[in-house]
Amino acid sequence: MTVSIVDYGVGNLAGCVAAFTRIGVKSIVTNEKSDILNSRAIILPGVGSFDAAAENLVSFGVRDVLLEFAESGKPVLGICLGMQLMLDRSEEGKLAGLGFVQGETVKLSSAESAKVPHMGLERVTPSEEFEKTLPTISDKFYFMHSYFCKVYDEGVSVAYSNHGENRFVSAFKKNNVVGVQFHPEKSGDVGDRFLKGFVGLV
Amino acid sequence: MSQFRVIPELLFDSSGLVKGRSFGGHEYVGDPLNTIKILCDFGASEIIIANRAVGGSALDFNRIASWVSISNVPVAYSGTVQSMADADELLHSGFEKIVMSRGFFTNPQLLKNISHVYGAQSTGVNFVYRVERDGEVVLIDWETGYPLRQSLLEAVEIAAEIGIGEIYLTNVDREGLMEGLDYSAFEVVKGVTEVPVVIGGGVGDMTDLKAASKTVGLSGVTVGSYFTFIRRDEGVLIRYENI
């Protein structure tokens, strides 16, 4: 079985495909229900604004499929905006997210030593327990975002990073649903190792 | 504090990668695909590919998409983009960001639209400038070499209104000389803009990079010649060094 990279018209798909090719895992770019439901795992990428992406999830017909897939217990990985869409809502827009995890996205605050958008490599520090599950997450990954996830569900925030003085959730895991704020597909060898580790969870 | 960004900048034209001095006298320095692969292998955390074509002539998407597909780090496209369809093509082919220079002044609405659809982090503007004898920073149209009507502060204000995610500042007179960075324009914009600022033009050694990394409020530097040539006036040797 393959890994499906969900195509809902929001950029960054080429980078994800290249990453899975590098680590030797077969992936397809799709928005077909049968492809998605038959996958061993799915990736929800995303670049752009929350509402435009949330709208596309509906117009591309993948919103209900994602909800069904998540129920199956098979792994789902949301990357950057893909992670943010897994929450209930965003301060950035009005439309509903997928609601896999209770929370909302909030804009980062800018300071002299921490500009917004937050761009570049940043340390990801996992909880002890999550590091045992996915050791390859304890490293530096590439971030490019203006909003962060404010998580209300207890016990699902599994890794943190810093933007200047402010600490934010850089990964959450609720059962089979994992979200990461960073871009593993654009984090060099470190990112490839992380994706290998994620696929290994399957 | 976020990690300081040292960003290799590769300039291309129809022949391949080229490098010049003060935006002139360009010579062929190699093949884009190999160079990007080398930079990724050496641990570069992001790359900028800049198009030297004047006037933003039609892009050969297949050609540049093949280069970016080899990269396992973010790649920004720097050059004039004519339409939203071109921007869609670039951002779907693997580029993370579009950085415009001349296009910022001639078609700000396009950058605004890109920022709206793909997010501020997908956009940047490169302000090319010159420092006059009295120390004044003057914006330059790099294609003509003529000074622009707007002041740097006015341009930064427009960038904020449009929703540009990053500001690059390039001193045209330092570019390619490897004689050290100029901070004049950065001094003008620091404290005024909320987005990351990256300066470029003149990095000649590690001392320049270390000094830049200690500059409060500066997010990164772009590096061309120093990562391209063994030394000034010597042969090509692609490499990457971080702080």
B43 touching A, CB under 8 A?
yes
Select from B45, B94, B117 the Cβ nearest to the Cβ of A121.
B45
- Burial (Cβ within 10 Å: 0-12, 13-18, ≥19) of residue B132: exposed
Q: How far apart are CA B161 and CA B88, in angstroms?
A: 22
B120 touching A, CB under 8 A?
yes
pLDDT of residue B2: 76
Q: How far apart are CA A191 and CA A170, in angstroms?
A: 14
Select from A48, A116, A146 the Cβ nearest to the Cβ of B117.
A48
Q: How far apart are CA B239 and CA B234, in angstroms?
A: 14
Q: Looking at CA atoms only, how far is residue B165 from chain A in angstroms? A: 6
Select from B74, B91, B120 the Cβ nearest to the Cβ of A186.
B74
State the alpha helices, DSSP H only, in A123-165. Answer: 128-133
Instruction: Please compute the mean of the pLDDT values over residues A180-194 and round it to a whole number.
Output: 97
A175 C-beta neighbours (distance < 10 Å), count: 11
pLDDT tens for B215-228 read 999 999 999 999 99
Name the residue with tokens 């998580």: A151
DSSP class of A24: T
Contact B5 A122 (CB under 8 A): no
The band of B172, judged by pLDDT with boundaries at 50, 70 and 90, is very high
Q: Which residues of B touch A48 (CB under 8 A)?
A: 117-119, 122
The band of A179, judged by pLDDT with boundaries at 50, 70 and 90, is very high
B19 touching A, CB under 8 A?
no
Contact B73 A186 (CB under 8 A): yes
Select from A113, A144, A191 the Cβ nearest to the Cβ of B217.
A113
Q: Which residues of B touch A113 (CB under 8 A)?
A: 1-2, 216-217
Q: List active site positions of A.
A: 80, 183, 185
Does position A176 have pLDDT exceeding 90, yes or no?
Answer: yes
Query: Which domains are present in chain A?
Result: 3-199 (3.40.50.880)
pLDDT tens for A19-67 read 999 999 999 999 999 999 999 999 999 888 899 999 999 999 999 999 9
Does the pTM of the predicted model rise above 0.90? yes
Q: How far apart are CA A97 and CA A58, in angstroms?
A: 11
pLDDT of residue B32: 94
pLDDT tens for A158-167 read 999 999 989 9
pLDDT of residue B147: 96
Token readout for A65 is 């499929």
Largest CA distance in chain A: 49
Average pLDDT, rounded, for chain A: 95
The ipTM of this complex is 0.93
Does position B56 have pLDDT exceeding 60, yes or no?
Answer: no
Mapping DSSP onto H, E and C, the string for chain B reads CCCCEEEEEEEEECCEEEEEECCEEEEEEECHHHHHHHHHHCCCCCEEEEECCHHHCCCCHHHHHHHHCCCCCCEEEECCCCCHHHHHHHHHCCCCEEEECHHHHHCHHHHHHHHHHHCHHHEEEEEEEEECCCCCEEEECCCCCCECCCCHHHHHHHHHHHCCCCEEEEECCCCCCCCCCCCHHHHHHCCCCCCCEEEECCCCCHHHHHHHHCCCCCCEEEECHHHCECCCCCCECCCCCCC
pLDDT of residue B55: 60
What letter represents residue B73's amino acid? V
Contacts with A97 (C-beta within 8 Å, 6 or more apart), sequence order = A50, A54, A84, A85, A86, A87, A88, A89, A90
What letter represents residue A89's amino acid? R
Q: Which residues of A touch B41 (CB under 8 A)?
A: none
Q: Which residues of B touch A121 (CB under 8 A)?
A: 3, 5, 45
pLDDT of residue A12: 76
pLDDT tens for B110-144 read 999 999 999 999 999 999 999 999 999 999 998 88
Torsion angles phi and psi, residue A72, rounded to 5: -70, -20
Token readout for A98 is 């997928």
Q: How far apart are CA A113 and CA A133, in angstroms?
A: 33
Token readout for B142 is 């790099």
Q: What sign does the dihedral B88-B34-A4-A12 (CA atoms) show? A: negative
Token readout for A174 is 């609720």
B174 touching A, CB under 8 A?
no
Please list, residue by residue across A83-122, b when 16 or more beta carbons sit within 10 angstroms of its beta carbon and e when fewer do: bbbbbbbbebbebebbebbebbbeebebeeebbbbbbbbb
Q: How far apart are CA B171 and CA B210, in angstroms?
A: 19
> Where are any strands of DSSP class E within chain A?
3-6, 27-30, 41-44, 76-79, 89-90, 103-107, 118-123, 125-126, 140-145, 147-151, 157-163, 166-174, 177-180
Angle between helices B152-162 and B108-118 (to 10 degrees): 40
Query: Which domains are present in chain B?
Result: 5-227 (3.20.20.70)
Average pLDDT, rounded, for chain B: 93
pLDDT of residue B242: 87
User: In 3-state terms, what secondary structure has residue A56?
Assistant: helix
